[in-house]
Structure 1
């Protein structure tokens, strides 16, 4: 399991949109590994409450790897702190 350090994100409502999650995943993975995946898909928004989670998939070359975004902390206003945990193994069929 690979854990990418937390980050703060400003949310406009009580959810972090799929688009913001995808952008933030690319930024966090680029920062951690020096390159971003080919694509990131987060089909669902993330509720803005501590402990909330959403599953996403990154594609890198011919591999598809799942990962989980979690809300670890609520900050001032509409800021939430996220953590990203990448699965140990690629998804079946990758």
Structure 2
């Protein structure tokens, strides 16, 4: 059987009000990012967020699609938060 575990943020929601630095992974590149605006997301839900990437990530004209993750460097942890798709 397939086990699916949903990421549970500390305050119960992922929000632009948090100062957490997430990472976006697109194909083989990654970039630190911040959530700067948008809806508050509860585990298992979806919504529209505005992301600001520190480094440029490129796509083929169809928009960025990738994985959103939290990288905790000093604990050697990588948590997959979800996925994203750019709205053009």
| TM-score, scaled to structure 1 | 0.27
Q: Which has the higher strand share?
A: 1
Q: TM-score, normalised by structure 2?
A: 0.28
Bigger relative CO (Cα 8 Å, ≥ 6 apart): 1
Bigger fraction of residues in helix:
1
